[in-house]
């Protein structure tokens, strides 16, 4: 077997601040089923978070970034990169990240760019930030994964395609709430899910999105990282996997040897749905909200197209000292206003007026 | 002028090799690779036979693989460049129709050996594209244009059948339970798991009253047959030889509304009758009937059309276990289209492979004890084409 170098910077990098954001509106799956007259005799997937009329990936990224800064307690002018990964950038040309950088006070001496890799654009940006900080080119870099996920009306995706995400301010290990010990990626050309330019909704290959896509890539990235670091599932208090639905993360966790209680804290899909580029990252904020210092966390994202980024993260004492300086993920989940399908259609621009 | 059915030649047509792929979602195999796997397996059973003609059964390649001319394409890929090769298409009856062409060619004496492959590759496409391709088996001008699909047709038939015969909602459950029970022990089956009646009853509707367990799953797959004239049988074939005792096909209206009686699959009635006449047999002589259970309602109608049950009584055979491996008339012995998987144009060839294994006594846990005479029937659409073959062991025993 080929030897792989895991991603580990020269200078140890950690999460200096983190922040979640989940919009308040909730569309229950049973409401989607009602409109589309779907069979409701089986189990339906909970509900999903929906962005309001005046919300988009820019505003939501700013909310999450401000939460991260509140925990990091650093001068935003020191941030040398603002990177936003999403499938829902409001503009095709014009960065989300410059607006976010301006709003949080990171301009003008900063990198800013938008990232695209389906549901793992946010973790890809995080790896870039590890490189940026780990090489000494910057002290602080902000990576965000945020989405107002798209699902065609009537499509299976519509039940879960939700809104939300998280921001991670990476910086020197000495200031970190959690240390990022290592990372590893697994990428192939696998066309399981895609949205062409100028199309409003993604297309997917039905069951093809499972075995040869989600499971293959997450398993490979996770197994190689575990092997390379000589760790086993028993060494981890928590594991967070990309969560397009309730079943996939449970199955992949079990197949890797994780117990259900290791993934419970980070499994948010029944309450907020699949937040695409935000999915694994907002799962991680929920874990950081409840973890104890010294806990080890395995984070594995998945992006269609396809690839997975796996991370080993270990929390520090600073986590409990600073995490209460911004709203917890649970508070966002509990801040809930249920809407019906008609309101959802209006909020998400699904009514075509002409 | 009515012509009686008389064979011009009296030599037997013998199957010297069979092979197939597992049915399922073969995302990593293209249509040519699927076909090659089945062809290689069949040819390995009689390596010295070089086929002189090649017939490909396929329905969906032009629509879903953007590929016509499978005859030349697959012959070339199988190392048979130069061979007489063409595709036979009759929707779900393509497999039987291709075998029929090979049978005729061999009977004519123009060729001494022939290769048949049925292949279907569907899972590279999803959703409406597959539905639209499947709907081409209906009458495009009068049915498909209105949005009907084969599943919707089956639903219309099933509702009418249950109504006319005063049968309960779960009257056809036994067909699905039997298919899944048999599929559970077939390593080539798409679904290798038995189901229970309560699961059938709770299954979501696909097109009311056709539920998920009434409808067969569309799958990728391929099967191949190597046939020779009896005087060309190689000396060192390992497995018992099986011959084609009868081959008959019949056609009817494609549109359901053009059938004088939609609950009688007339092409199946006629092709079964012709096949039984050729073989000089009656339904009572048949040990196994591999019918085309694309939907449970089709199983009931096929049993009735073939004479195993009176009109409106076919469902009762499922209810009382007559169709099980140890029943009076076993059907779907390897899971049928319901559990083994429905591979469109390949189904008719898969049925023959399964029947050959039964008659050879090589059906493993799916063996029908003492099976000597088997009948296979595949249908195009809701029976616009019906092809029936009767197989027996070459040497009586």
The CATH number of whichever domain residue A248 belongs to comes to: 3.40.47.10
Measured CA to CA in angstroms, residue B224 lies from A274, B13, B388 at distances of 45, 16, 17
Domain check: are B199 and B117 in the same one?
A: no
B186-221 residue pLDDT tens: 999 999 999 999 999 999 999 999 999 999 999 999
Specify the pLDDT at position B41: 98
**Is residue A290 in some structural domain?**
yes
Average pLDDT value for residue range B324-329:
97
A225-257 in b/e burial notation, b at 16+ Cβ within 10 A? bbebbebeeeebbbbbbbbbbbebbbebbeebe
At residue B357, does pLDDT exceed 90? yes
Q: What CATH number is associated with residue B23?
A: 3.40.47.10
At residue B1, does pLDDT exceed 50? no
Domain check: are A301 and A284 in the same one?
A: yes
The chain-wide mean pLDDT, for chain A, equals 95
Count Cβ atoms below 10 Å from residue B394 Cβ, excluding itself: 18
In this structure, is the dihedral angle defined by the CA atoms of residues A267, A271, A274 and A275, taken in order, positive or negative? negative
Decide if A207 and B28 are in contact by the 8 Å CB cutoff. no
Decide if B27 and A39 are in contact by the 8 Å CB cutoff. no
**Is residue B3 in some structural domain?**
no
Domain check: are B116 and B152 in the same one?
A: no
Domain check: are B204 and B103 in the same one?
A: no
Specify the pLDDT at position B238: 86
A95-149 residue pLDDT tens: 999 999 999 999 999 999 999 999 999 999 999 999 999 999 999 999 999 999 9
At residue A45, does pLDDT exceed 80? no
Domain check: are A193 and A170 in the same one?
A: no
Respond yes or no: is residue A124 known to be catalytic. no
Specify the pLDDT at position B396: 63
Residue in B with minimal Cα distance to A212: B27
**Is residue B137 in some structural domain?**
no
Q: What whole-number distance in Å separates Cα of residue B79 and Cα of residue A219?
A: 39
In chain A, the percentage of residues whose pLDDT exceeds 70 is 98
**Is residue A42 in some structural domain?**
yes
Which domain does A59 fall in, by range? 13-177+322-347
Helix (H) or strand (E) holding B55: strand B53-57
**Is residue B292 in some structural domain?**
yes
Domain check: are B61 and B185 in the same one?
A: no
Decide if A39 and B205 are in contact by the 8 Å CB cutoff. yes
Domain check: are B153 and B281 in the same one?
A: yes
Domain check: are B25 and B67 in the same one?
A: yes
Domain check: are A277 and A332 in the same one?
A: no
A108 touches chain B (CB under 8 A): no
Domain check: are B76 and B106 in the same one?
A: yes
Which domain does B67 fall in, by range? 13-126+218-232
Respond yes or no: is residue A203 known to be catalytic. no
For residue A43, what is the DSSP state?
-
A184-198 residue pLDDT tens: 999 999 999 999 988
Task: Indicate whether this model's pTM tops 0.90.
Answer: no
Specify the pLDDT at position B3: 45
Stronger pLDDT, B128 or A327, i.e. the higher one: A327
What total number of domains does chain A contain?
2
CB < 8 Å from B in window 207-226 of A: 207-208, 212
Q: What whole-number distance in Å separates Cα of residue A83 and Cα of residue A168?
A: 10
Q: Confidence band (pLDDT; 50, 70, 90) for B2? A: very low
Respond yes or no: is residue A63 known to be catalytic. no
Domain check: are A235 and A287 in the same one?
A: yes
Domain check: are A237 and A301 in the same one?
A: yes
Domain check: are A196 and A306 in the same one?
A: yes
At residue B118, does pLDDT exceed 50? yes
């Amino acid at each position: 077997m080929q030897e792989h170098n895991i991603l580990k910077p020269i200078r140890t990098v950690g999460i200096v601040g983190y922040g979640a954001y989940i919009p308040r509106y909730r569309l229950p799956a049973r409401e989607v089923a009602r409109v589309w007259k779907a069979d409701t005799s089986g189990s339906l997937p909970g509900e999903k978070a929906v962005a309001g009329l005046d919300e988009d990936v820019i505003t939501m990224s700013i909310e999450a970034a401000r939460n991260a800064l509140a925990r990091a307690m650093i001068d935003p002018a020191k941030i040398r990169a603002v990177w936003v990964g999403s499938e829902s950038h409001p503009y095709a040309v014009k960065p989300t990240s410059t607006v976010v950088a301006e709003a949080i006070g990171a301009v003008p001496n900063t990198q800013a760019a938008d990232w695209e890799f389906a549901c793992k654009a946010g973790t890809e940006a995080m790896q870039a930030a590890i490189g940026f900080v780990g090489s000494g080119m910057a002290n602080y870099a902000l990576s965000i994964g945020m989405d107002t996920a798209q699902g065609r009306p009537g499509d299976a995706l519509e039940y879960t395609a939700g809104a939300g995400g998280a921001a991670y301010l990476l910086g020197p290990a000495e200031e970190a709430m959690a240390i990022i010990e290592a990372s590893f990626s697994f990428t192939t050309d696998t066309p399981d899910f895609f949205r062409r330019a100028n199309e409003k909704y993604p297309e997917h290959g039905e069951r093809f999105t499972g075995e040869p896509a989600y499971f293959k890539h997450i398993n490979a990235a996770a197994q190689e990282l575990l092997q390379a670091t000589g760790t086993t599932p028993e060494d981890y208090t928590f594991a967070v996997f990309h969560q397009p639905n309730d079943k996939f993360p449970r199955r992949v966790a079990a197949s890797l040897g994780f117990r259900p209680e290791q993934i419970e804290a980070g499994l948010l899909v029944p309450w907020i749905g699949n937040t695409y580029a935000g999915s694994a990252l907002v799962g991680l904020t929920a874990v950081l909200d409840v973890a104890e210092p010294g806990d080890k966390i395995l984070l594995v994202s998945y992006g269609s197209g396809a690839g997975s980024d796996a991370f080993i993260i270990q929390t520090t004492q600073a986590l409990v000292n600073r995490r209460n300086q911004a709203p917890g993920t649970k508070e966002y989940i509990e801040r809930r206003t249920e809407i019906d399908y008609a309101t959802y259609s209006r909020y998400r621009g699904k009514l075509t007026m002409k | 002028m009515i012509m009686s059915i008389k064979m011009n030649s009296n030599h037997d047509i013998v199957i010297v090799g069979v092979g197939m792929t597992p049915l399922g979602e073969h995302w990593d195999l293209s249509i040519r690779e699927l076909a090659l796997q089945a062809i290689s397996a069949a040819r390995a059973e009689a390596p010295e036979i070089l086929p002189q003609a090649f017939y490909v059964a396929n329905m969906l390649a032009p629509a879903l693989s953007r590929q016509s001319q499978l005859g030349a394409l697959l012959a070339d890929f199988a190392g048979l460049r130069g061979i007489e090769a063409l595709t036979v298409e009759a929707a779900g009856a393509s497999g039987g129709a291709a075998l029929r062409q090979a049978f005729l060619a061999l009977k004519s004496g123009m060729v001494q050996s022939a290769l048949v492959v049925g292949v279907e590759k569907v899972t590279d496409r999803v959703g409406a594209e597959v539905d639209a391709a499947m709907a081409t088996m209906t009458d495009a001008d009068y049915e498909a244009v209105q949005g009907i699909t084969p599943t919707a047709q089956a639903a219309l038939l099933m509702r009418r059948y249950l109504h006319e015969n005063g049968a309960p909602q779960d009257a056809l459950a036994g067909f699905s339970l039997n298919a899944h029970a048999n599929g559970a022990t077939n390593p080539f089956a798409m679904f290798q798991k038995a189901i229970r009646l309560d699961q059938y009853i709770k299954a979501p509707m696909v097109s009311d009253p056709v539920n998920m367990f009434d409808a067969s799953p569309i799958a990728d797959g391929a099967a191949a047959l190597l046939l020779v004239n009896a005087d060309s049988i190689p000396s060192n074939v390992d497995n018992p030889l099986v011959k084609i005792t009868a081959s008959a096909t019949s056609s009817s209206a494609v549109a359901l509304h053009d059938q004088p009686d939609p609950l009688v699959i007339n092409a199946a009635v006629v092709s079964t009758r012709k096949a039984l006449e050729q073989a000089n047999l009656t339904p009572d002589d048949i040990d196994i009937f591999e019918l085309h259970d694309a939907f449970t309602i089709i199983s009931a109608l096929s049993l009735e059309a073939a004479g195993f049950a009176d009109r409106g009584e076919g469902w009762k055979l499922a209810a009382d276990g007559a169709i099980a491996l140890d029943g009076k008339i076993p059907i779907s012995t390897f899971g049928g289209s319901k559990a083994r998987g429905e591979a469109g144009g390949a189904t008719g060839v898969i049925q023959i492979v399964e029947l050959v294994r039964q008659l050879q006594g090589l059906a493993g846990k799916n063996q029908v004890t003492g099976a000597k005479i088997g009948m296979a029937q595949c249908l195009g659409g809701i029976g616009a084409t019906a092809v029936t073959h009767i197989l027996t062991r070459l040497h009586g025993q």
